[in-house]
Amino acid sequence: MLKPLVEKRRRDRINRSLEELRLLLLERTRDQNLRNPKLEKAEILEFAVGYLRERSRVEPPGQLLGHPFFPPIMALYRVCVTTGPYLMAGTLDNIFVTLVGTCGESPKQRLDRMGRDFASGSVQKYKVRCSEELGELLLLRLHKERYAFFPQDSWYCSCICVTAPDGTLSHFPCYQWMEGYCTIELRPGTAKASVYPNLHLPLQSLSPGSWKVYAPGFPRIIDVSSFEEMESDKKFALTKTAPRADPGDSSGNQYLPGFPMKIDIPSLLHMEPNIRYSATKTTSLLFNAIPASLGMKLRGLLDRKGSWKKLDDIRNIMRCHKTLTSEYVREHWCEDQFFGYQYLNGVNPVMLHCLSSLPSKLPITNDMVAPSLGPGTCLQTELERGNIFLADYWILAEVPVHCINGHPQFVAAPLCLLWLNPQGALVPLAIQLCQTPGPDSPIFLPTDTDWDWLLAKTWVRNSEFLVHENNTHFLCTHLLCEAFAMATLRQLPLCHPIYKLLLPHTRYTLQVNTIARATLLNPEGLVDKVTSIGRQGLLYLMSTGLAHFTYTNFCLPDSLRARGVLDIPNYHYRDDGLKIWAAIESFVSEIVGYYYTSDASVQQDSELQAWVGEIFAQAFLGRESSGFPRQLCTQGQLVKFLTAIIFNCSAQHAAVNSGQRPLGTYPDEHFTEEAPRRSIAVFQNRLAQISRDIQERNRGLALPYAYLDPPLIENSVSI
């Protein structure tokens, strides 16, 4: 199909060149025969050869370039263009380039060679001629324009390398799609925290995208209400995907005041390509989701509205997806030891706090727990030894309760006391399902009947699900990482080192959150249909969670220390997480040290300060009690903040969700200097060693803990 098009383009180029040659010969020789536009190609070439032969007799060959027929070329720039290897990455459109330097800019020049120029995965070389050298290259403009009568097609440009007349090589990373007929401006790949402020070049980061309130007390989200404005921004155009208000909607199916009401789901396919799911990602999701959903549909699980009749019905959910973990859970789910294990290595391993004394709202006596503790110890002794822990679900005490199928639901706000026994196992010691003690709030113990104790543990796990899925998972990874992505795109130029560092960790986050708000959190959506708190309870739960979220909670080492859980044995989340934190911290420290040589350079980076200020204001609502920085004054503060962001966008999300693109993967070479590349290689090698250590440990575990195995940690919040 493409061969006729390529042949036509080649013929067109030959004809254009011959026509230009005819006109030049006519201008120089005044030969009337050249006035005929239908002159044969061979005749034009014969005229040219004769002219050159005549000139060579009267002028030395070295002087021909000075002749008016051959205007002097003062500077020749060699341009190498790499097209991405992805499906449909090539284009038939015309591509032009303009080079901008400290001493001027080149004419806009079409990049054109024999044959097809911009095929998928191709590397093509071109020459750009200028009347004089441009000085240090500051900017490269790429122009994409229509070719003949063909419709436009998208082009994925990976990078462009420019060799100056003096041999200086400049890299211009692109790694983005160009849709339609447009112009984009690329900066050199050499990262700079402050780039020639007196030249007033565009920052390439400020966009019409702005913040919007989703709900009171929530982190701010992207405002996508202005379709026309954002449509023109090829770096940040989300309007085709976002919830849009429908003024005529009177169904009550709307968000809170100030938030768009509905989303046009089909328009997700038209999302700006640089932030939407790739074809590979979309295919992977469909490949995994459709068979699973179909299987549950065929077994009637998706249509079930009543209660489970027997435990076998629940076991049938995993019948077609058996794994080592699912089989282990099926055999041990009701055991106390596995119940405690989940607080350490389950999907919400951040709930435990070590106690030195019991809270007044949990009136447990030694006599109650003595049978569980056994002889030779008592409750007070175990408190003093640091062996008593509490999981407190206080945040559920006042959450609104939802009705499902006309039935009001019950939400427990339990306090679960756990004990680290001499065998090193964490086991539940007592459970109170309400925050207020009294006759209506009994304390359940392991010595109660089997069914009473099992039901008490089940209600704790139900509360665990609500806190984990809404706060630990969606609020503390998805929503906060969306705010980090927004601030990074809005405040940092493409050439900024922090932008380059964080870009892989923002991949797909905006789209996955937009989909979640449209399908899970919308009125009468999945949350309203299947959870005991519904959407209103979710809004309360997450806004309350953010109001109590602190910088200590955000930084893994500080959180573990504050919760007093540094010495619990078999806490694989802690052990693996600290190793990954240290690897990220070392990598970030090298990057920061390379680009920021002193504390003063951090303080004087206005773009960096605007970035952290926007995160403080929009993600944490300017709440001083959160402890999050509103400005960064030292290299150490910057390293810690960046480490925490990368960890939470990657490893923490993996620990409470699942994996996609492995942590440490940098397929797009935004950093072009040798030092950052070496740091990336060292970081990847360190992660590989951590993975080997984890796999070696897991071989000796009955239930392997692989959530924080680096190949299973996605680079960003993308699912």
- Tens digit of each residue's pLDDT (9 = 90 or more) over 151-205: 888 888 888 999 998 888 988 888 888 888 888 888 887 756 654 444 444 444 4
The pLDDT value recorded for residue 234 is: 37
Q: What is the pLDDT confidence band of residue 24, given thresholds at 50, 70 and 90?
A: confident
| C-alpha–C-alpha distance, residues 511 and 409, integer Å | 32
- Let me know whether 311 and 458 are in one domain: yes
State how far the alpha carbon of 338 is from the alpha carbons of 13, 301, 326, 335, 426, in Å: 73, 26, 13, 5, 9
Residue 183 lies in a domain: yes
| C-alpha–C-alpha distance, residues 679 and 590, integer Å | 7
- Let me know whether 59 and 79 are in one domain: no
Q: What is the pLDDT confidence band of residue 660, given thresholds at 50, 70 and 90?
A: very low
The pLDDT value recorded for residue 193 is: 61
Strands 169-178 and 243-244, by their bridges, are: unpaired
| C-alpha–C-alpha distance, residues 668 and 499, integer Å | 13
- Let me know whether 402 and 365 are in one domain: yes
The pLDDT value recorded for residue 531 is: 87
Condensed to tens digits (0 to 9), the pLDDT of residues 78-136 reads: 999 999 887 778 888 889 999 999 988 898 999 887 667 888 888 999 988 888 889 99
Residue 126 lies in a domain: yes
Question: Using an 8 Å Cβ cutoff, are 187 and 494 in contact?
Answer: yes
The CATH number for 32's domain is 4.10.280.10
Q: What is the pLDDT confidence band of residue 491, given thresholds at 50, 70 and 90?
A: confident
More confident residue, 555 or 69: 555
Which H or E element spans position 311?
helix 311-315
- Let me know whether 54 and 82 are in one domain: no
Percent of the chain topping pLDDT 90: 34
CB-based burial of residue 20 (10 Å sphere; 0-12 exposed, 13-18 middle, 19+ buried)?
Answer: exposed
| C-alpha–C-alpha distance, residues 251 and 500, integer Å | 45
| C-alpha–C-alpha distance, residues 34 and 17, integer Å | 15
The pLDDT value recorded for residue 664 is: 45
Chain centroid to CA 123: how far?
28
- Let me know whether 19 and 84 are in one domain: no
- Let me know whether 47 and 155 are in one domain: no
Q: Domain boundary residue among 31, 64, 97?
A: 64
User: How many domains does the chain contain in total?
Assistant: 3
The pLDDT value recorded for residue 301 is: 60
Residue 642 lies in a domain: no
Residue 74 token pair: 């003062």
Residue 480 lies in a domain: no
**Is 527's pLDDT higher than 80?**
yes
Can you point out the beta strands (E) in 221-301?
Answer: 221-223, 243-244, 262-263
- Let me know whether 313 and 455 are in one domain: yes
Beta bridge partners of 170: 162
Question: Using an 8 Å Cβ cutoff, are 550 and 627 in contact?
Answer: yes
The CATH number for 180's domain is 2.60.60.20
Residue 355 lies in a domain: yes
**Is 553's pLDDT higher than 80?**
yes
Residue 341 token pair: 């294990």
More confident residue, 556 or 301: 556
- Let me know whether 340 and 458 are in one domain: yes
Range in 251-255, 279-283, 469-473 the model is least confident about: 251-255
| C-alpha–C-alpha distance, residues 510 and 486, integer Å | 8
The pLDDT value recorded for residue 305 is: 65
pTM of the model: 0.75
Average pLDDT, stretch 567-593? 94
The pLDDT value recorded for residue 683 is: 82
Q: Is 452 helix (H, G, I), strand (E, B) or coil?
A: helix
**Is 576's pLDDT higher than 50?**
yes
Percent of the chain topping pLDDT 70: 75
- Tell me, what DSSP letter sits at residue 107? P
Range in 231-245, 479-493, 651-665 the model is least confident about: 231-245
Residue 271 lies in a domain: no
**Is 237's pLDDT higher than 80?**
no
The pLDDT value recorded for residue 206 is: 35
- Let me know whether 82 and 33 are in one domain: no
State how far the alpha carbon of 22 is from the alpha carbons of 9, 37, 688, in Å: 20, 8, 64
- For residue 528, the number of C-alpha atoms closer than 13 Å in the C-beta half-sphere is 12
Please tell me the total number of residues recorded for the chain in this structure: 719
**Is 312's pLDDT higher than 80?**
no
The pLDDT value recorded for residue 669 is: 56
The pLDDT value recorded for residue 431 is: 97
Angle in degrees, CA 294, 296, 300, rounded to 5: 115
- Tell me, what DSSP letter sits at residue 63? G
| C-alpha–C-alpha distance, residues 425 and 445, integer Å | 17
Residue 360 lies in a domain: yes
> Which residues fall within 8 angstroms of residue 287, CB to CB, at 6 or more apart?
none
User: Comparing C-alpha atoms, which of 96, 105, 154 is closest to residue 134?
Assistant: 105
Q: Domain boundary residue among 159, 188, 217?
A: 188
- Let me know whether 164 and 26 are in one domain: no
The pLDDT value recorded for residue 304 is: 63
Q: What is the pLDDT confidence band of residue 283, given thresholds at 50, 70 and 90?
A: low
**Is 484's pLDDT higher than 80?**
yes
**Is 499's pLDDT higher than 50?**
yes
User: Comparing C-alpha atoms, which of 464, 466, 465 is closest to residue 428?
Assistant: 464
More confident residue, 664 or 235: 664
- Let me know whether 329 and 441 are in one domain: yes
Question: Using an 8 Å Cβ cutoff, are 98 and 140 in contact?
Answer: yes
The pLDDT value recorded for residue 718 is: 57
- Let me know whether 164 and 36 are in one domain: no
Q: Domain boundary residue among 156, 188, 220?
A: 188
> In which residue are the tokens 């900066």 written?
187
The pLDDT value recorded for residue 634 is: 96
Which H or E element spans position 96?
strand 94-101
> Which residues fall within 8 angstroms of residue 485, CB to CB, at 6 or more apart?
506, 509, 510
Q: What is the pLDDT confidence band of residue 265, given thresholds at 50, 70 and 90?
A: very low
Residue 257 lies in a domain: no
> What's the mean pLDDT when you consider all of the chain?
79
**Is 207's pLDDT higher than 70?**
no
The CATH number for 442's domain is 3.10.450.60
Condensed to tens digits (0 to 9), the pLDDT of residues 618-656 reads: 888 899 999 999 999 999 999 999 999 999 988 888 887
The pLDDT value recorded for residue 254 is: 34
| C-alpha–C-alpha distance, residues 561 and 516, integer Å | 33
Question: For the chain, percent helix, then strand, then coil, each to nearest 5?
Answer: 45, 15, 40
- Segments forming the whole domain that contains residue 340: 305-462
